[in-house]
Amino acid sequence: MNGITRVRALVVTLVGLLLASAIPLLATARPAAASDNGQSVRPAMGWSSWSFVRRTPTEAKIKAQADALVSTGLKDHGFVYVNLDDFWQKCDDNGFVVDSYGRWSVDTAKFPGGIKALADYIHSKGLKFGFYVTPGIAKNAVTRNTPIEGTSYHAKDIADTSKTEKNYNCKNMYYIDYSKPGAQEFVNSWARQFASWGVDYLKIDGVGGADIPDVQAWDKALRATGRPINFALSNNLPIADAATWRRLSNSWRTQGDVECYCGPGSNGSGYPLTDWSHVLGRFNSAASWQPHAGPGGWNDLDSLELGNGDRVGLNADQRRSHFTLWAMAAAPLLLGTDLTQLDSVDRAMLNNDRLIGVDQDGVAASRIVNSGVRQVWSKKESDGQYVVALFNTGTSGSTSVSVDWSQVGFTGSGDVTDLWSGSRKGVIADSYSATLRPGETRLIRVKPVGSLKAAAAPGMAVAPYEYLGWGSPPDPASVMSATGVRWFTLAFILSDGGCNPKWDGSRPLTGGNDQAKIKAIRAAGGDVTVSVGGWSGAKLGEKCSSASALAGAYQKVINAYGLKAIDIDIENTEWSDATVRQRVVDALKIVKANNAGLKTVITFGTTTSGPDATGVDMIRRAAGSGLANDVWCVMPFDFGGGSTNMGALTTQAMEGLKARIKSAYGYSDATAYARIGLSSMNGRTDDTGERVRVADFKAMLAYAQQHHIGRLTYWAVNRDRACGSGTDGDACSGVSQQPYDFLKVFAQYTG
């Protein structure tokens, strides 16, 4: 490992990732038994055809909405799904027209190019395609006794013709008897067809308690396709089966439709799309279902009717309250309006990344005040701040809504920021109140004043690397005293020749100097994350033969020190091997599932324009596998050519990284920035002539402060001093400086 290079550690448990628009991570224990299909780590965002397009979808209409998501900039804020709902199918007098294998046929009058062509168009826009189905098998399939693809079975072998399934379009759907051979295979064939068309999101509608076998079958079938597909259930699902819905799917509709069906068109279509009573009904269901939401599975409150101004049936105050409730509930944000006619007032609402951040933080709020028209909801962010929403749900008369900080979860004073306006309201003691118009809301973020001093100290996001095996390591307590840092990234854990972790591959995890140093750091009020990998030595990713074995090795390190974060510094031969990269991804999924709240960082090299082809592949593998990695951290140095303007080159590389993360995961800009980090190198790098100076660190700090990135660190505190007699590149920077000049710059960063 060129002693000097590499690594970075840490995960951002978010010592500050929650400033204004940054997206915080879940701090509390996650609900048990979430779907492990890797989808919907955060609530889905996009557009659905039902509310506005209703029963008359066409290829042209869906393409127009996809175009509008891009042209209006909504895509850039995270609205990426384009979901085609019901009425894409062709019907006759006996129900759905079916193909040769008994599956619904596409109405080619509406979709002349077919569904795959539509999905391809949507994908070409950088968006994702959603689709629709209901449980059961069509009467026409049974009447024709169509074969089940790839089997010797037929429709009559699996249909229970004594019962008809709920269907809102062509009707005439029989139950499937899943005790019969061929039943699962029928659903598998349908799922394969959808996957081949490019479906990224599948809504199965008309689901009730009696349809659990169908949900199980579809969950199994979608996984078997090998295509990542977000699996959504609808509608008005029984809460008694909440644990089942969470285990098998990624979202579930908690009530009936939010649409009022009170428009002038057929079946109540047209404007208005909804009314306040339909939105108001969601307050109680959101409160009841709150314990069941979390990463991988969300309470779906139905479409967000925002975008067409007052025409939707809500005034501006009510629309803000509508958005606020959905965000506080961490519900999917699926717009139901006509995006080709986006209202300017609503566009400003939808572009508010502070609101989107509240939705995407992975925490469903609890209702703490429910008194007449007065409601208050609250949730705690992972850095100790709170988000609080106050509502006047009435339809006439202003009213004062108040909440004590003790009800929110702390006592004393709180530093308040209004999230709709972005304005700071200052420090407010004991309680907060607002006089609200009928239907109005106030959404605030509150930082308990008692935590301000602690929050100002750099934490996990600025955990400098220290290597205890060489480089004349400084005493961590002295570094803490001199710079104010509290966290360190200790390196490196390697293989001892097999799938067993040791410091440098030789020193035991416990009982030695490494553990003693960790205890001393914690005794001084700090903490550590541990870095696994680096440039040199035998890597666990290569020596462990499977993802489960590698996860077990990582777990030994986590258990040895009770870690809150782990850094996987993947370099050299471990990085260049695609099989190993996938093994690391799969191992981290296992580790995150088994360690609630553990933060993971993946650290790797970069070009001046961002990740190279291998880095892009790693990110795509992780996103496709459903790994919700907390921080993607690049090492912006060793660029070659004697580069000197390393601050500018670093921010350029970071923008490239942000674009790759945003694209792969479908994040908003704010979320993407919160999930990236940098680990620079101070002073002389491994490339002759390349120098990273204190001025460059200041440029990196400014970038971090502007975008609230998840990680700002460097290699290494061992080198943060001038060279002198008896020192070399592993123990000094190679530039003129005072001790810890570089760390003192990064120590100003709080997230």
Residues involved in catalysis = 571
Q: Which two tokens stand for residue 491?
A: 């390196």
Residue 111 token pair = 């979709």
Burial of 162 by CB count in 10 Å (0-12 exposed, 13-18 middle, 19+ buried)? exposed
Cα–Cα distance between 71 and 80 in angstroms, integer?
A: 12
Written as one letter, the residue type at 535 is: W
Question: Are the C-beta atoms of 338 and 52 separated by less than 8 Å?
Answer: yes
Burial (Cβ within 10 Å: 0-12, 13-18, ≥19) of residue 96? buried
- Residue 161 in contact with residue 142, Cβ under 8 Å? yes
User: In this structure, what are the phi and psi dihedrals at residue 416, rounded to the nearest 5 degrees?
Assistant: -110, 135
> If we measure between CA atoms, which residue out of 720, 723, 718 comes closest to residue 746?
720
Q: Could you give the 3-state DSSP secondary structure of residue 285?
A: helix
Cβ atoms of residues 334 and 47 within 8 Å = yes
Looking from the CA of 62 toward its CB, the CA atoms found within 13 Å total 35
Q: How far apart are CA 37 and CA 229, in angstroms?
A: 8
Q: Quick check: 413 and 427 in contact, CB under 8 A?
A: yes
Quick one: how many helices (H) and strands (E) in the chain? Answer: 25, 32
Pair of tokens at residue 458: 């750099």
- Report CA dihedral (129, 134, 139, 142) to the nearest 10 degrees: 80
* HEC assignment per residue over 51-102: HHHCCCCCHHHHHHHHHHHHHCCCHHHCCCEEECCCCCECEECCEECECCCC
- Closest CA relative to residue 619, chosen from 628, 36, 24: 628
Residue 576: CB atoms within 10 Å: 11
What residues does 635 pair with on adjacent strands? 605
Cα–Cα distance between 82 and 230 in angstroms, integer?
Answer: 12
